[in-house]
Chains A and B, each alone.
Chain A
């Protein structure tokens, strides 16, 4: 409640801008200004787009650019309470908060003021609980509060330099009318104003009715300054100021308030903040010429200071990655390949299968380019997070599907590649921790050499194992329904399954051993029976067991295929399942909410494998 009151007071304190609409301004330079977000320096327009996406739950708000809306939020906070920006689609929460607007309509801070105040106690109680115990509605409530808090933080982020709607008693200085007095202008008098207030209270007490007109002005000014400073002290939403004095933190940025209140101010940052004030004033006045000059000067200033540490080419690449949505294109192409295969299966048109093969190739190319872009943007191999590993395994599956079918246009391999890649790309967004999926790396993985050896090796192993399992499904189908895959013999599919299983064994075994060496270097022990280590070992043991069973003749072809088909379950448990345990040193992978999905997947897989085996078995008997 106190924060809301502070916000309202702050909004009253901010002077409204001369113009509300800013349609004629160019945001090219503004968009390229660097900002630190989730441990990475990114261009401001990407920060704006991801922030607005988090708040609204949609990629676009109206027809305005994200930079335009974002500039309005930070430069014109007085208009912020009425801006429709929050998305709330959870029906239970909407009913509880008595929100009657259409489900897709955005809400403003004014709309949410009462609901937020009414649910604050509930949120405070929730914060004392284990996050794993939250249900969907509780998570939605927490997300709403978090979004409101984030939005308020952004509105306050430049309160140091934005004009205030305050009346300054004449004895503190001669300010011209419309002088656009900001907090920083008044900060030089703050000690004096506070001393005057203290003296006033000691002489006349705290009852403002006993004060003269000038004394009331002093008291109100002191209160305003204290409120703005109190809000600023916790404001870290817009990290645009590079640190100067601490060499160990040279890559860090702080918010303007953090910078000044932590004593990290410097002449360069004074100049830079001055340029931000110039942008703010130009934006508020809708003055295109001044805006262009100020935003250009700010970009030149920060680019010169960072001396190539954050090259604009990388920003361009990041923007392209963000705007092009290459994984969506790849997923679309994989889906198209599956549809073409369906046409082939129904009509028997070979051209459809060939088209499916090249559609799969196109998807894999987009997918590969997207992964390469991630590598260039993040300066590390593409397997640092659970989300990235899913993307990478999907690519391995698609690439293997195309490689196997490139000569003979084999529908089964095209299907395996397209289906697994599409399924994994559809799962990936649910595993990503937020809208900004180019996340910073957990410290435990922050070694490029080991990421490119151990983790890459293991994830390639996962990809090959998934393909082996799908081929094993294909073998069982070929045995159960011999007419369904007319151009392939079941034995040739089994042969490929066998080769895939050997390759999977090679990659997972080597990856597991490399992991042990890394663990020895990082944690001082080769093996610690950590769930993740056990998971990797489980895949290796499963594959070795099946290979030995096959070689020794204890497991027949169908049994081998069933075992390899079940490898999907083993991989899923080793890859995602162990993360649900929330124990062990591999804390980078912990996720929540996957348990049911994983459980359903395992049950469906068991059902499918059982049905396929039963069919094969019955067919052989008859």
Chain B
């Protein structure tokens, strides 16, 4: 009987050890969360690849030129109805946060006049925002940036890039409100202030 009790005790102890090993034992450290990583150093976590383009004003620039500001990198085309629906929201954001954000819109249009027609329309409807320096539009005619670099096939897609050049999140489609965008921008501002 004593021996059997010992066997039962050993089995119970093994069960408890197993539980401890699976649930409570220290595990290999996980990679630090983005914020913790940023605390340690201000280098970008998840850096956006740099690229160069010429905007519709004829100015050649790079994504890295805008480091220090939050970049809204939007992939769109004039034939994509949801893209046209969300475009004014980005213009509003550029207007509301002129010192904090840069709105870069990469058009995949195969038909340059169609793109120009839409831009003209935006200039009529949002003249102040379209005139701002932080609204940058360029024609990515062969989709070297949209498709090859950022793997964007389903328009519209928008990547939010923090002040250190790190890609923070992606907005897929146009089913979102301006308040959602504003919240994302505020979070990125707070996150940047906290970490550096």
Contact = CB atoms under 8 A, between A and B. Distances in A.
A267 B169 contact: no
Given A188-B142, A191-B77, A265-B150, A245 B169 contact: yes
B152 interface: yes
A597 interface: no
A453 interface: yes
A307 B28 CA distance: 11
Contact of B151 (A195, A273, A506): A273
A163 B25 CA distance: 50
B142 A499 contact: no
Interface in B1-56: 1, 4, 7-8, 11, 15-16, 18-19, 22-23, 28, 31, 48-49
B81 interface: no
A452 B79 CA distance: 57
A381 B22 contact: yes
Interface string A444-470: 000011001100110010000000000
Contacts of A308: 28, 31
A191 B78 CA distance: 11
B147 interface: yes
B149 A265 contact: no
Interface in A191-209: 191-192, 195
Contacts of B173: 263
B187 to A, nearest CB: 13
A379 B148 contact: no
Contacts of A380: 22
A448 B21 CA distance: 10
Given A245-B170, A457-B15, A262 B154 contact: yes
B23 A375 contact: no
Contacts of B154: 260-263
A260 B153 contact: yes
Contacts of B172: 245, 262-264
B143 interface: yes
Interface string B137-173: 0000011000111111110010000000001011011
Among B19, B28, B151, find the residue whose CB has the most chain A CB atoms closer than 10 A. Answer: B151
B110 interface: yes
A121 to B, nearest CB: 35
Nearest to A193: B110
A143 to B, nearest CB: 34
A184 B22 contact: no
A380 B22 CA distance: 6
Given A263-B172, A448-B22, A270 B15 contact: no
Contact of B15 (A187, A265, A452, A503): A452
B110 A265 contact: no
A189 B18 contact: no
Contacts of B23: 448-449, 452
A452 B28 CA distance: 22
A396 to B, nearest CB: 9
Contacts of A448: 19, 22-23
A442 interface: no
Interface in A367-411: 375, 379-381, 403
Interface in A158-198: 184, 187-189, 191-192, 195
A380 B19 CA distance: 9
Interface in A67-116: none
Interface in B123-137: none
A265 B159 CA distance: 11
B150 A270 contact: yes
Contact of A267 (B7, B8, B18, B151): B151
Interface in B91-147: 108, 110-111, 142-143, 147
Interface string A571-614: 00000000000000000000000000000000000000000000
Interface of A: 184, 187-189, 191-192, 195, 245, 259-267, 269-270, 273, 307-308, 375, 379-381, 403, 448-449, 452-453, 456-457, 460, 499, 503, 506
Kindly list the 5 A-B residue pairs having the minimum CB-CB distance in the complex, ordered from nearest: A265-B151, A263-B172, A192-B110, A452-B19, A270-B151
24 contacts: A188-B142, A189-B110, A191-B108, A259-B151, A260-B151, A260-B153, A260-B154, A264-B172, A265-B151, A265-B152, A265-B157, A266-B170, A267-B48, A270-B148, A273-B151, A308-B31, A375-B22, A379-B22, A381-B19, A381-B22, A449-B19, A452-B15, A452-B16, A452-B18
Interface of B: 1, 4, 7-8, 11, 15-16, 18-19, 22-23, 28, 31, 48-49, 77, 79, 108, 110-111, 142-143, 147-154, 157, 167, 169-170, 172-173
